[in-house]
Amino acid sequence: MNVIADLHLHSRFARACSKDLTVQNMEKFARMKGVDLLGTGDFQHPKWLPELKNQLTDNGKGVLMTKTNYPFVLQTEISLVYSQDGRGRRVHNVVLAPNFEVADQIVEYLGSKGRLDYDGRPIFKIPCPEFVESLRKISKDIEVIPAHAWTPWFSVFGSKSGFDSLQAAFLDQTKHIRAIETGLSSDPGMNHRLSKLDNITLISSSDAHSHWPWRIGREATVFDMKDLSYKKLITAIRNNKVVETLEFYPQEGKYHFDGHRVCGTCLSPRESLALKKVCPNCKKELTIGVANRVEELADRKEGDKPKSAKPYRNLIPLSEIIAHMIHSPVASKKVWEQYLKLIAAFGNEIAALSATEAELSKHIDSRMAKAIASVDRVKWKPGYDGEYGVPLFPGCEDRPIKKKAKAKTNYENDLSGF
């Protein structure tokens, strides 16, 4: 059985996250997206955990079910900020837990190290090896996965605060790191260039800060699981039982290229290196992006990959494609009308994005159908220094779209059936 899983999300108690991130909305839009399994996000937060306990019931296999039978697994993201080898390190890790009892023990451990109530993604001065070792003392079923592994500021390989290898970061606990999350600004093809990652499972998750379908499930991992249980999920992660991953185009990620947002400077790795990584406008240091960092650590040529490599598909969120093509904000009623038409026809967004141009043309105009079916040929204005990249659809090259959705909208009634 194939299970499409998004294992990294947040709750409304995390900073810069939608106040409408509720269990109900997460389920509703995950179903619309076509995602079969979600992480809960932020399970250590003192206000979110009681909600999870009240609304989710363990199926006896470590999977938590809603009253309408949608599955979640306990998940959070923890920020570790500390010094090692004379440098400040900032590494984010996704943590999966098998049940509420273990989650309570994790909460007790983290509470002994600092505050838990100020953010859904709390910060602790705990080195990565100590963190992994301490969690494994609680339960060997806990899984620690380096989050968005290449992001410049907060990741294991980040140019600003990371390491050059998993071994350097996790030391003697590296043997317990079985997977990394590739993040929005890289895809598996980029990660395959590092032979040191050949035995590491590459997973993809959304890191969603809202419940909207252009956020939730924008990246996901398809696992081969005979039974929907926490044990089977962890076995799939640890033994690379990945069917495929669904990916952002890395060019759309906020840190794909090098740059300086204040100056509007965006540079390829080659251009950046020629300028000695200094902004040509203000002469300050550039934020070095993922493409450059991969190039720095790679020991394979572009396009090379190990025998263990799993397939992956790059996708653009359906709402964004529609928004670009009709030049309307991504949360507008015009976009939702087109979006819901396709959801009604194909059942969910992932299925619609997988449809052929001929199949799509039965439900929408031919120009839109062609755009959805041919995203692999779209050129990009790459993301950099916190700015999302922009797909350049033919005839829409200079049409940026607004992605932020209002909390309350005039199309809520249109969504009531989902």
Which residues in the chain land under pLDDT 70?
A: 397-418
- φ/ψ (deg, to 5) at 19: -75, -10
The residue count of the chain comes to 418
| Helix intervals (H) in 202-332 | 230-238, 269-274, 290-297, 318-326
Which of 252, 283, 301 is the endpoint of a domain?
252
Report pLDDT for 407.
39
Cα separation, 275 vs 279, in Å, equals 8
Residue 261 lies in a domain: no
pLDDT at 405: 46
Could you give the CA distance from residue 217 to residue 18 in angstroms, rounded to a whole number? 16
Sequence letter at residue 127: P
Concatenated DSSP letters of 141-200: T-EEEESSTT-SSSSTT-TTT--SSHHHHHGGGGGG--EEE--TT--HHHHTT-GGGTTS
The 10 Å Cβ neighbour count of residue 115 is 12
Examine residue 147 and state whether it is found in any structural domain, yes or no: yes
Distance CA 51, CA 95 (A): 19
**Residue 332's domain spans which residues?**
318-377+392-415
Evaluate whether residue 287 is within a structural domain: no
**pLDDT value for 418:** 55
125 & 248 share domain: yes
Evaluate whether residue 369 is within a structural domain: yes
CA 133 to chain centre: 25
Q: Does 49 share its domain with 181?
A: yes
- 359: helix, coil or strand? helix
Backbone φ and ψ for 54, nearest 5 degrees, come out as -75, -30
Last residue of a domain, which of 206, 237, 252? Answer: 252
Q: What is the number of structural domains in the chain?
A: 2
CB atoms within 10 A of CB 188: 22
Is residue 260, in this structure, part of any structural domain at all?
Answer: no
Q: Using an 8 Å Cβ cutoff, are 250 and 9 in contact?
A: no
Distance, in Å, from the CA atom of 283 to the CA atom of 277, rounded to the nearest integer, reads: 9
Shared domain check, 235 and 350: no
- The verdict on 123 and 31 lying in the same domain is yes
Residue 391: DSSP 8-state: E
In a domain, 301, yes or no: no
CA distances 248 to 200, 204, 314, 346, 389, Å, are 20, 9, 5, 21, 11
Same domain? 12 vs 159: yes
Residue 128 maps to which CATH number?
A: 3.20.20.140
CA angle 58, 64, 66 (to 5 degrees): 110
- The reply to whether 229 and 118 lie within a common domain is yes
Q: Using an 8 Å Cβ cutoff, are 8 and 77 in contact?
A: yes
What are the residues facing 94 on neighbouring strands?
A: 77, 145
Q: What three-state secondary structure class fits 4?
A: strand
Q: How far apart are CA 113 and CA 134, in angstroms?
A: 12
Residue 398 lies in a domain: yes
**Do 392 and 400 meet the contact criterion of CB atoms below 8 Å apart?**
no
Q: Are residues 198 and 116 part of one domain?
A: yes
66 touches 23 (CB < 8 A): yes
Structure-block tokens of residue 184? 């929005």
Question: Are 100 and 9 contained in the same domain?
Answer: yes
pLDDT at 109: 98
Q: Which of residues 231, 252, 273 is at a domain's end? A: 252
Residue 278 lies in a domain: no
Helix then strand count (H, E) for the chain reads 14, 17
Q: How far lies 329's CA from each of 151, 341, 362, in Å? A: 27, 17, 25
pLDDT at res. 263: 97
* Of 258, 297, 233, residue with least CA distance to 94: 233
Co-location of 220 and 347 in the same domain? no
Q: Where are the beta strands (DSSP E) in 209-356?
A: 220-224, 242-248, 258-260, 265-267, 312-315
Q: Are residues 240 and 324 in the same domain?
A: no
Query: Both tokens of residue 375?
Result: 């995203």
DSSP 252: G
**DSSP alpha helix (H) spans, 187-327:** 188-191, 230-238, 269-274, 290-297, 318-326
